[in-house]
Structure 1
Amino acid sequence: MQPDVLGWPVPAALALAIAVALAWDARFGEPPPRLHPVVGMGRVLAALGRWVAPRADEAQRPRRDFAAGALAWTLGAVAVVALAGGAQALLSGTPWWAQGLALGVLLKPLLAWRMLRDEVAAVEAALAQGLEPGRAQVARLVSRDVQALDEAGVRQAALSTLAENLNDSVVAPLFWFALAGLPGAALYRWANTADAMWGYSGVRGGRDWTWAGRWAARADDALSWLPARLTAGLLLAASGRGVRWRALRAQARRTPSPNGGWPMGALALRLGVRLVKPGVYALHEDGRLPQRADTARALAWCGRVVAGCGALLVAGLAALEVFGRPS
């Protein structure tokens, strides 16, 4: 196999990288925080946020705040893409299999299935000890107020974040990596992290994000649009029972996010449960309250989605290597 034009990794290298990243994630999980690129992105965003967003007691300046948020986001995105592209370019002179192995190691921190699975499973284990431990554990995963949640509410919060982050932390990074290499995956994680930290309509952390975080929220919406629907489709396939796409679309429209409702709605319909965030959304309202067994089923299905997504992308890239490139 010869290197692609301009040193871009050949499809076989990208395919191998996806397999390596998923295997590394399953075996070792997350790297230490000091070495984690997403943690680094969060630190940069926190520092920029003090410049971008006005304090809650300051007067709003919509144009200035929006422009500052958009400029800071764009500068950070350019830096992230440049660093990822530079790392990828350094590997261009190596054999395709060496590129694949190295890119897989670099891709791994940009996805996080094992951590997501373990954190959601820990919520169920904590609930077995009592409601307060369950609330404390789910508070690690969600931004909502957990103190008023009963046992079913804790499970609803855990299942909702499982479905949404299945896209944000696994499917979308893999999708963008397959499409645009390491820079694509890094750009997506920058956008998703920025949305998590800046994408609020109102006050958070003593600062007003109504306008300052709007660009970050819209950028994440755009980059997540197709992967979220892919995640929902994979969830529908993973459990082996039929649900009409029209019914899923109707549930997805019930959330403020144009994307989060797709995987959450798919999981709610598949499990036959209702997933509610009071005052924000109610999915599959005719469903029953989730039980302990639903968490185990959801985790098993999501595990199949991760494996299936990886297999599809690897197969697609391998086919492109065999049939899509001149010999």
Structure 2
Amino acid sequence: MSPSETLPLLLAALVIEAACGYPQGLYAWIGHPVTWIGALISRLDRGLNREGDSLARRKAAGVLALILLLAITLAISLALTTLCRMLGPFGLLPLALVASSLLAQRSLHEHVARVAEGLESSGLAEGRKAVSMIVGRNPESLDEAGVARAAIESLAENFSDGIVAPAFWLGIGGLPGGALYKAVNTADSMIGHKTPRHLAFGWAAARLDDLVNLPASRLTALLLVAAAALDRDANPADAWRAVRRDASYHRSPNAGWPEAAMAGALGLRLAGPRIYGETRVEDGWMGDGRAEAGAADIRRALRLYRRACGLLWGLAGLGAGTAIVIAL
């Protein structure tokens, strides 16, 4: 697909998802593309990841599983693209509807806002309950500031891998590009862990996920820095300074970029040592502001996020317009 096709598709998908999200009734009826991908990954994990095999054999099995996952995802997304193309210009809408399911602007905002609402209305217990829906760490280990920081960190990281990254690959490769990204990202979240079962089998998924998220994580940081310049309650200079100074100290090669930008923009200190289950994970601090955060800071982060989403829309619209003019 050419940019004159992929970029209008991206813009339409962004608008549709922000306006409608993914309807709960549709989810209850047919599920969601991520659940379909997850079901396939689970089946490949059960069939190919044999505990009696050597580490080398399990790593090779993981590579095979990833190839099969990507091949099936590509075949289905190409078939859907071909069917929609047969409708001519009218095919953009159904294709954009499908592509919108790969984005999460609306649901991410709703989930993070619930943490602020929980803290504001019912205090720490409700805040912990809400944040447990979006982070993997032990919520009982978090005080109010920890709950707020966890919500803001999740907002920053998921803005990158739940919105900017699929948008980037949709803009590059249309529906197949976005679907392939989502398959890799879902595989990493399911099997890309350093556990005895998945250390070898999930190696390929984890490494590929790091690679495909690399451009989007940098773009996300730039979007947040630019959004901070449009918000009188945020500091773009501090955001940029935090990115340059702190992003590389995060244990993830990509998550540090949006988290550092968010921390610097809001005058906060994010990430740092955290507890997942019973395990303490040592990580670098992003930003050098205050560690004490609350519901008001979550609201500030959400405002910055909305501005950054608007800038992403602007980039998609500018790119679509330019590509169409060049194609004419």
Same fold (TM over 0.5): yes
| Corresponding residue number in structure 2 for 1:318 | 321
| Corresponding residue number in structure 2 for 1:296 | 299
Q: Per-residue deviation at 1:282?
A: 3.4
Distance 2:156 2:79 in 1: 33
| Structure 1 residues 86 and 280: CA distance shift in structure 2, 3 A | farther
* Counterpart pick for 2:17 among 3, 25, 34: 25
User: CA-to-partner distance for each residue in 1:269-302, whole Å, 9 max, x for gaps?
Assistant: 1111111342232323632122222111111111
* Counterpart pick for 1:228 among 212, 217, 233: 217
1:113 matched to 2:101? The reply is no
| Corresponding residue number in structure 1 for 2:7 | 15
Report SS of the residue matched to 2:237.
Answer: coil
1:46 matched to 2:49? The reply is no
1:198 matched to 2:191? The reply is yes
1:63-78 correspondence runs (5 A):
63-78=56-71
Q: Per-residue deviation at 1:69?
A: 1.0
User: CA-to-partner distance for each residue in 1:210-258, whole Å, 9 max, x for gaps?
Assistant: 1111111111111110011000000011011224746413311122211
Aligned length: 309
* Counterpart pick for 1:219 among 195, 208, 218: 208
CA contact (8 A) 1:12 1:100 kept: no
Q: Per-residue deviation at 1:93?
A: 3.1
Distance 2:48 2:246 in 1: 35
Q: Per-residue deviation at 1:68?
A: 0.9
Which one-letter code corresponds to 2:192 in the other structure? G
| Structure 1 residues 294 and 52: CA distance shift in structure 2, 3 A | farther
Q: Per-residue deviation at 1:173?
A: 0.8
Report SS of the residue matched to 2:284.
Answer: strand
| Corresponding residue number in structure 2 for 1:283 | 285
| Corresponding residue number in structure 2 for 1:4 | none
Moved more, 123-132 or 266-275: 123-132
Which one-letter code corresponds to 1:308 in the other structure? L
Give the TM-score, by structure 1 length. 0.89
Q: Mind listing any 5+ residue stretches in structure 2 that lack a counterpart? A: 230-235, 275-280
Distance 2:123 2:238 in 1: 34
| Corresponding residue number in structure 2 for 1:132 | 125
Distance 1:298 1:84 in 2: 34
1:255-266 correspondence runs (5 A):
255-266=250-261
* Counterpart pick for 2:79 among 60, 81, 86: 86
| Structure 1 residues 280 and 100: CA distance shift in structure 2, 3 A | farther
CA contact (8 A) 1:198 1:209 kept: yes
Structure with the higher helix share, 1 or 2: 2
| Corresponding residue number in structure 2 for 1:102 | 94
Distance 1:99 1:314 in 2: 19
| Structure 1 residues 299 and 244: CA distance shift in structure 2, 3 A | closer
Moved more, 304-313 or 76-85: 304-313
Q: Per-residue deviation at 1:185?
A: 0.2
CA contact (8 A) 1:13 1:99 kept: no
CA RMSD of aligned residues (A): 1.9
User: CA-to-partner distance for each residue in 1:71-121, whole Å, 9 max, x for gaps?
Assistant: 11110111101110111112223333x232122101111001100000000
CA contact (8 A) 1:110 1:185 kept: yes
| Corresponding residue number in structure 1 for 2:227 | 238
Give the TM-score, by structure 2 length. 0.88
* Counterpart pick for 1:166 among 143, 156, 159: 159
Which one-letter code corresponds to 2:16 in the other structure? W
CA contact (8 A) 2:239 2:265 kept: no
| Corresponding residue number in structure 2 for 1:153 | 146
Identity of aligned residues (%): 37
